[in-house]
Structure 1
Amino acid sequence: MDIGHFTRRIMVDKDQTLQHKVAIQEESGRRWTFKELHEKSNSYSHQLLKLGVKKGDRVGILLYNCLEYFALYFAIGKIGAVAVRINFRLTSNELEFILKDSHTKILCLDRELLEKIEPIRNQIPVEHYIVLGDGHLPDWAKSWDLLSCGPGEEVGEMDISMDDPVMLMYTSGTTGRPKGAVWTHNTTFWFSVIQILKWGFDGSEIAMTTGPLYHVGALEDIALPVLLKGGTVIITRSRGFDIARVMKVIEKEKVTHCFLFPFMIYDMLNLPNLDEFQLAHLKTIYTGGDPLMPWAIEAIYEKYPHVGIVQVYGLTEGQPIAACLNPEDALKKSASVGQPLPLTEIKVVDENGEEAPFGEVGEIWTKSPGVSEGYWGNPEATKSTFVNGWCKTGDLGKWDEEGYLYIVGRKKDMIRSGGENIYAAEIEDVLYRHKAVKKASVIGIPDPKYLEAVCAVIVLKENEKATEEEIIRYCRQYLAGYKCPKKVVFTDEIPMTPSGKVKKFVLREKYGKPINSGKNG
């Protein structure tokens, strides 16, 4: 049951009701039925084969969110090729690295992104460029019409194993160069099944995804399992996110399930006309990336007591949703990411490679059919991250006595100062409580006496003011002295990856100069 099964469902739809049901829809209202999606993906498959794409060849997708994204992804999988889903926000140099590393043969891209390819075209291995969008094209590019002109019938029997790779997803790169996580047909299918088992999707869902489709958090999370069960998926446009606009779509299309990142939820709750939206049909809000603040959970439950909040935890390599916090635990366990999903194992491992007891901090390892096979062309990174089916996430966590998992920081975010381990997430949590702080990130910087010292990088809210002394004094109210920042930097922006993670290696490069040491505590 390869990835093509997501569109082949109409072939076993005996009463043909699914054929005419909306499968995917853009927020603008443009939509395709399951039959149209299936036929489009078949058409793309035929044309890719004519362009010389063979089993195992890499086909790049550099598109904004659109219906064509789904059809192309399924088409690539149907012929045994490998989709390279690429972040459209990347610079030309970053794109060059990924296209070279993956040895992408065909690149399908949005016309507006041609300017990013032009400077690197002679350095990358791409043989054909297929462009979506109206307007003039350079002579080295082909129109999307090329893909759309093929027959809509099945391409015939293809030699595809469930263990074959179907997608490369380049990780966020919080520690440097990105690595291509390999997803097989098995990985994709089983991750959908795991979600169906957990949340009981039955095909009645109208699910909205708000992230970019190049990311697992927008396509593999919620969207694919809903499609597999015959539900409808609505996708938001890629640029100019506006929570008021999104809320109108949720209301108009009677969305039942949606994924909103924490900052989106905060924006939603700050809407002056929030009470005007009719959301009786909304059942579940999924959120992740960062913990959702308790005040936001309380506000949602007060306004919409019928809506369940599900906080999720995971990563591209180690299953995008490996654990979740159920709605009934949202308040009483708000600091936790919950418990493992079905068919998913999680353990916390200490420095000796042994499972840590309850309450002790260690590295989180995950294991399931939804865990990546490894990194593309990078055996060393694969060997260091994947051990006997387990993925070493690099996240630090601990269990409580009731079996709930807590994230305390990244393994490489741990600050070592004066013989003490300091976890950045704990300090960041305190900083976010300050009335003037909009964003905060904590890093370790060199200290001549204590090895490292804590540095807080802060973005202030509009029209708010704060000083370094004030922030440090505030932290001392809630943290032991050795955990408090010794340096505070105020900036206009904190660099983020597309998946919402702070690029701490950038902060370290910019602000990681040694400071004159004082007392540590």
Structure 2
Amino acid sequence: MTLPAHPLPPGVRWRTPFDLLARNARLYPNKLALIAASAMGGEARLSHAALAFAIDKAADALRGWGLRRGDHLAILMNNSAAAEYIVIAWGAMRLGAVVVPLNTRFALPELRAAVEDMDCRAIVHEAAFAETVAALDAGGERFGPRRIAVGPGGDWGAIYATGQPARGGFPVLGSDDLADILLTSGTTGRSKGVMLTHGNAVATGAAIAGGLDLGPQDTYQSPFPLFTSSGFHFNIMAAWWAGATMVVEPGVDLPATLARMTRERTTVYCAVPAVYIFMLDAYDPAQHDLSAMRVFDYGGAPMAREVIRRLADTFPQVELRQTYGLTEAGPSGTFLAGRDALRKLGSLGTPMPMCDVRVLRPDGSEAAPGEMGEIAMRGPAVSRGYYNRPEATAETFRDGWLWTGDLGQRDADGYLFYMDRGKDVIIRGGYNITSMEVENAIFEHPGVKEVAVVAIPHDRLGEDLCAFVVPQGDPPPAPADLQAFAAARIADYKVPRRWVFVPDLPRNPTGKILKNRLRERAQQDA
């Protein structure tokens, strides 16, 4: 089942990412487009003209290797090979092939399920994953010779050398052509493949660049893995739409991140909330010059209000922006501009360009201000559905809307506030409790570094609350102290009765806390 897409507005001249590449190569040929680690060691620094050339060269090389329009190409690589990742992925899409980025943190059964479910018959991988790919290949029945290894000892260098960009003759692609299938983060169950078109990618670039206020003068830095929608679409497409310089970090390493910001004169940085918590600990104004920084953007998970306050105090010259979106929406959605960061503390803001975001009741009618409902989206960045998953597509994409599964409400000014994932709402004795409001109250305690609240079964109340706390320092605060602290800020029925202290919280690659794992542990302990 594939749903009709909301088309790009007629006024958008660029219909595919390759239109953006060509435009940037023409307007900013010698300006840096990409700074990223190479699988061969060191760092690649490509101008807009050089990046467009490299992608066309990779496309011709892959064509000679045998890749064809409509082929599903899996990529199993980390940001440590980001330069090759981007060139190969868009080289494949230049041919009309469909790219399927694989989560490098998946276990072998998860990877096997992904390549089977997404019908991948070719794969490009870092040389370090050779044994994993051999196990996936099922004795040559799946990939056979259609395997390319990237890095020392791999064959990509020789294949790439055969590419002749001047040969041209690449397929004419339209905005409705399928570009990639991005796997959902897999916080529950088997990952689904989100089908995204070339038009979806362009619309995502317009939305995110607008939400971040990106322009060609910006240097945009982020650690999001390229196998996530945040790394693959959110970052890359926004930078290409804006003509900005994209700095892809090899991973999350705060001393290295701060040094890179200083060295590259980074102007916009985007990461999940947890990274900013660690940044506050690692930042030293005597060592790190962030005077060029103008925007910190946080997304991928809700940001605790206390962290927003601390960031505002520590970096008063930096605008704090919140973005919210889903893989199924490109990812695009809403943004909260810095001028509202404290005035609308905790809000997800208002829709990005080309995005329609509403709060709906179960019957599809719009919820009133202050009324909680399900957040829904539509627009040209929204996917047409899940690959080979008609039932899941019908459940999530209804009446022209993407139903996110997130609960929210709008205030009288139209600003959106995230309340919880629908499945994370805790019903204790008939009272509905959103985990986020409890977490915000506990997080204000000076002895708490991070906190996540989940439901546990209760024989009388139905459900009770369990708080997992990462303490700030040693010894950790006493549970009784935390209970009293929370009780002074939220209703008594919202205060957790069970407290578990942990060194860290389980997260997926985009930084979202895996509450399903915490629920499993809490239930086992109970």
Larger mean Cα displacement after TM superposition, 55-64 or 484-493: 484-493
The residue number in structure 1 matching 2:31 is 21
The residue number in structure 2 matching 1:339 is 350
Larger mean Cα displacement after TM superposition, 506-515 or 52-61: 506-515
The residue number in structure 2 matching 1:436 is 447
The residue number in structure 1 matching 2:3 is none
The residue number in structure 2 matching 1:2 is 16
User: Over residues 244-291 of structure 1, what are the superposed CA-to-partner deviations in whole Å (9 max), with x where a residue is unaligned?
Assistant: 221222122222222133222222322362244333322222111234
In structure 2, give the amino acid aligned to 1:23.
A
Candidates 381, 399, 402, aligned match of 1:388: 399
Deviation at 1:176, TM superposition (A): 1.4
Stretches of structure 1 that go unaligned for 5 or more consecutive residues are 516-521
C-alpha separation in 2, matches of 1:281 and 1:273: 16
The residue number in structure 1 matching 2:276 is 265
Larger mean Cα displacement after TM superposition, 276-285 or 318-327: 276-285
SS of equivalent residue, structure 1 residue 408: strand
In structure 1, give the amino acid aligned to 2:399.
N
Candidates 500, 504, 522, aligned match of 1:511: 522
The residue number in structure 2 matching 1:78 is 94
The residue number in structure 2 matching 1:185 is 198
In structure 2, give the amino acid aligned to 1:25.
I
Larger mean Cα displacement after TM superposition, 218-227 or 437-446: 218-227
In structure 2, give the amino acid aligned to 1:132.
V
C-alpha separation in 2, matches of 1:229 and 1:343: 15
> What does 1:45-444 correspond to in 2, within 5 Å?
45-65=59-79, 66-122=82-138, 125-127=142-144, 128-135=146-153, 142-153=155-166, 155-238=168-251, 241-271=252-282, 273-444=284-455
Deviation at 1:147, TM superposition (A): 3.0
Given that 1:130 and 1:144 are in contact with CA atoms closer than 8 Å, whether structure 2 keeps it comes out as: no
C-alpha separation in 2, matches of 1:493 and 1:249: 26
Given that 2:358 and 2:375 are in contact with CA atoms closer than 8 Å, whether structure 1 keeps it comes out as: yes
What fraction of aligned residue pairs are identical, expressed as a percent?
28
Deviation at 1:200, TM superposition (A): 4.9
In structure 2, give the amino acid aligned to 1:312.
T
C-alpha separation in 2, matches of 1:505 and 1:293: 20
Larger mean Cα displacement after TM superposition, 484-493 or 67-76: 484-493
C-alpha separation in 2, matches of 1:432 and 1:299: 12
Deviation at 1:347, TM superposition (A): 1.2
C-alpha separation in 1, matches of 2:472 and 2:143: 44
Deviation at 1:357, TM superposition (A): 0.9
In structure 2, give the amino acid aligned to 1:63.
M
Change (3 A) 1:452 1:200: closer
Change (3 A) 1:247 1:343: same
Change (3 A) 1:175 1:468: same
The residue number in structure 1 matching 2:48 is 34
Larger mean Cα displacement after TM superposition, 330-339 or 314-323: 314-323
C-alpha separation in 2, matches of 1:439 and 1:295: 11
C-alpha separation in 1, matches of 2:438 and 2:112: 37
User: Over residues 337-363 of structure 1, what are the superposed CA-to-partner deviations in whole Å (9 max), with x where a residue is unaligned?
Assistant: 111112211111223432211111111
Larger mean Cα displacement after TM superposition, 219-228 or 371-380: 219-228
C-alpha separation in 1, matches of 2:277 and 2:504: 18
Candidates 443, 446, 464, aligned match of 2:475: 464
Change (3 A) 1:495 1:297: closer
Deviation at 1:334, TM superposition (A): 1.6
C-alpha separation in 2, matches of 1:145 and 1:464: 56
Given that 2:212 and 2:321 are in contact with CA atoms closer than 8 Å, whether structure 1 keeps it comes out as: no
SS of equivalent residue, structure 2 residue 332: coil
Larger mean Cα displacement after TM superposition, 458-467 or 206-215: 458-467
Change (3 A) 1:410 1:489: same
Deviation at 1:305, TM superposition (A): 3.7
Change (3 A) 1:272 1:8: closer
RMSD: 2.3
In structure 2, give the amino acid aligned to 1:39.
F
Deviation at 1:319, TM superposition (A): 4.0
C-alpha separation in 2, matches of 1:121 and 1:407: 42
The residue number in structure 2 matching 1:518 is none
Deviation at 1:411, TM superposition (A): 0.3
Stretches of structure 2 that go unaligned for 5 or more consecutive residues are 1-14
Larger mean Cα displacement after TM superposition, 293-302 or 24-33: 293-302
In structure 1, give the amino acid aligned to 2:506.
P
In structure 2, give the amino acid aligned to 1:22.
L
SS of equivalent residue, structure 1 residue 217: helix
C-alpha separation in 1, matches of 2:72 and 2:158: 21
Larger mean Cα displacement after TM superposition, 45-54 or 248-257: 45-54
Given that 1:446 and 1:513 are in contact with CA atoms closer than 8 Å, whether structure 2 keeps it comes out as: no
> What does 1:436-515 correspond to in 2, within 5 Å?
436-513=447-524
C-alpha separation in 1, matches of 2:462 and 2:307: 38
C-alpha separation in 2, matches of 1:499 and 1:267: 15
The two structures have a TM-score, normalised by structure 1, of 0.90
In structure 2, give the amino acid aligned to 1:244.
P
Deviation at 1:122, TM superposition (A): 0.8
C-alpha separation in 2, matches of 1:7 and 1:336: 34
The two structures have a TM-score, normalised by structure 2, of 0.89
Given that 1:4 and 1:77 are in contact with CA atoms closer than 8 Å, whether structure 2 keeps it comes out as: no
C-alpha separation in 1, matches of 2:479 and 2:137: 47
Deviation at 1:168, TM superposition (A): 0.9
Deviation at 1:50, TM superposition (A): 2.7
Given that 2:304 and 2:443 are in contact with CA atoms closer than 8 Å, whether structure 1 keeps it comes out as: no
Change (3 A) 1:468 1:200: closer
Deviation at 1:505, TM superposition (A): 1.9
